[in-house]
Amino acid sequence: MVSFRREKFVPFGGPYGGDGGDGGSVILVAEPHQRTLASFKGRKFIAAQNGGPGGNKKMSGKKGEDRYAPVPAGTVVYEKKGDEKVILADLAVEGDKVVVARGGKGGWGNIHFATPTRQVPEIAKPGKLGEERELILELKLIADVGIIGKPNAGKSTLVSIATKAKPKIAAYPFTTIEPVLGVVDVGWGVFTIAEIPGLIEGAHVGRGLGREFLRHAERTKLFIHLIDGSSSEPEKDWLQVNQEIKLYSRDMAEKEQILVVNKIDILQVKENLPGIKKRLKGDGKEIYFISAATGEGVKELMAYIAKRLNELANIVKEEEKPLKVFRPVPVDTKETLTE
């Protein structure tokens, strides 16, 4: 502000205009009650508060309030630059936060411009605009175990039996349209499990929202590969899902898989079990046989998974660590006072 002191009996009052307040910043923070990015659907713009104008009597303007936007833990923040996207932060843990747009600096009042030769400065310095960025937010669920498999393999039913989660269950493909998280408690161990919705041929390029689903499996420590025992070609289903994962990410393809055949409560499946074992044991993997509908074999499977997770606890690959991006803020240098 440009202002002067004009009180009676103060003949040499001089400049009296205060500085403008700094603008607020936009901050993304991972909060525990957030589970999806649905709150950002249709939300095109987030702005922090402007700084207040300077006042008379050397009074500085109010600093603008920061704007905190809550996101679920596991959110990866990218800045869009043309056709590319550059990672800004990986908010992997609850409480993680990142400043995605810094507020502008407040302007200077005319009190800064008084000199022995310029005792009546009628100038002020305008403030600087804050940052403006175009962001892309991606959620990658944080779960210990991911359940993968073809549509209708029984993934939702298994989650509902093993945990207290209540996913939508129906007798048609793509019942689940978003990943479902649940907590498994085996008495001596607790872990989180995520249902990754049905993967079909072409999932790695987006068919059936494949890419949207696959990225949720990236942080898991191991997979339950659920096979529909009533399928006419269970080995083909198994190979196809693995191929889609491999085409999407070689790192994911190298994660440990526990092969599980479901629906053994069906008489036809029970009769075909010897043939299924023979066709699926080609790679030497141990196979678990369960019925998610009746709960048969589920308790034993979950106990084995808890044991295996304990064994893997001390094996942390460098690429699985949450990516932290450090962006030091430059030290403010003294600005030159110019008109």
Q: Which two tokens stand for residue 280?
A: 């699926």
DSSP state, residue 118: B
**Other Cβ atoms closer than 10 A to 225:** 23
Amino acid 283: pLDDT:
58
Per the CB < 8 A criterion, the answer to whether 260 and 269 are in contact is: no
Mean pLDDT of the chain: 81
Mapping DSSP to helix (H, G, I), strand (E, B) and coil, where does residue 77 land? strand
Q: Which two tokens stand for residue 231?
A: 């399928």
Give 8-60 pLDDT, tens digit per residue: 887 777 888 899 999 999 999 999 888 778 888 888 899 999 999 998 888 88
The residues, any chain, with a CB within 8 Å of residue 318's CB and separated by 6 or more, are none
Name the packing angle between helices 234-248 and 267-280 (round to 10°).
Answer: 50
What is the side-by-side strand order in the sheet with 26-30? 67-71, 26-30, 97-101
Topology of the domain covering 145-320: Rossmann fold (3.40.50)
H or E stretch covering 307:
helix 298-312
Give 149-163 pLDDT, tens digit per residue: 888 888 888 988 888
Q: By percentage, how much of the chain surpasses pLDDT 90?
A: 29
Domain 26-139 CATH (choose: 2.50.20.10, 1.10.150.120, 1.20.1270.10, 2.70.210.12): 2.70.210.12
Interatomic CA distance for residues 145 and 307, integer angstroms: 12
Mapping DSSP to helix (H, G, I), strand (E, B) and coil, where does residue 226 land? strand
Is residue 186 pLDDT above 60, yes or no?
yes
Q: By percentage, how much of the chain surpasses pLDDT 70?
A: 81
For the chain, the 3-state helix, strand and coil shares in percent, each to the nearest 5, are 25, 20, 55
Give 234-255 pLDDT, tens digit per residue: 888 888 888 888 887 888 888 8
Per the CB < 8 A criterion, the answer to whether 243 and 225 are in contact is: no
Strands 222-228 and 256-262, sheet pairing: parallel
Interatomic CA distance for residues 160 and 153, integer angstroms: 14
The DSSP code sequence of 90-117 is: EE-STT-EEEEEPPPPPPB-GGGG-BTT
Q: What pTM value is reported for the model?
A: 0.61
Q: Residue 332: CA atoms inside 13 Å, Cβ hemisphere, count?
A: 4
Which residue intervals of the chain bear CATH 2.70.210.12? Answer: 26-139
Q: Which two tokens stand for residue 257?
A: 């898989």
Which has the higher per-residue pLDDT, 286 or 127? 127
pLDDT category, 326, cuts 50, 70, 90?
A: low
Is residue 196 pLDDT above 60, yes or no?
yes
Which residue intervals of the chain bear CATH 3.40.50.300? Answer: 145-320
Amino acid 301: pLDDT:
93
Q: Which two tokens stand for residue 239?
A: 């190979």
Interatomic CA distance for residues 32 and 89, integer angstroms: 18
Mapping DSSP to helix (H, G, I), strand (E, B) and coil, where does residue 271 land? helix
